[in-house]
Chains A and B, each alone.
Chain A
Amino acid sequence: EDQVTQSPEALRLQEGESSSLNCSYTVSGLRGLFWYRQDPGKGPEFLFTLYSAGEEKEKERLKATLTKKESFLHITAPKPEDSATYLCAVQADDYKLSFGAGTTVTVRA
């Protein structure tokens, strides 16, 4: 069974204080690793899909990396508008996504 573990559960940052979120996974035959951002009361917003170990993708202050066992989401110089829950999901040999519990990031001005 696919397993996805995200840490920490919650992260409080000062504006400009860079940090990283972790997503470790166990899956047979990884097809892709997905990152989403979810604001309260809204559906998840697609950020990235990573396909193979060593791959990196960037979007504004976010950078995602992938190894064979985990992925990191780096937030560089965060702003209050980066406050959200960040979800990681793995996709195995079929098309289904298995989600982690998420990391809730709060950025204080």
Chain B
Amino acid sequence: DAMVIQNPRYQVTQFGKPVTLSCSQTLNHNVMYWYQQKSSQAPKLLFHYYDKDFNNEADTPDNFQSRRPNTSFCFLDIRSPGLGDAAMYLCATQGRINEQFFGPGTRLTVL
């Protein structure tokens, strides 16, 4: 089945230790998004790609970086995670009517 896959589902890291979250899609969609969602809050857009064109949100901290080596894969790199970065990280792609298809998310814990 065509889908958006995120690995790992749960990630534990230490304060300040770099971590990479991965996302892959079999939908062949041009647009991919990364969101951060904290408990009982709306998903917050960090950045998105239109093909290889990278678009950073103005309030996304420099601590967050992203790579998209090809259509299928997208990575979120957190260079120096702080306690405030503990959250669910959601990857999504954009469909034909601009609906977004979300992956299952990666829940990040920072110790």
The reply to whether chain A is a binding partner of chain B is no
| Interface, chain B (partner A; CB < 8 A) | none
Residues of A within 8 A of B (CB): none
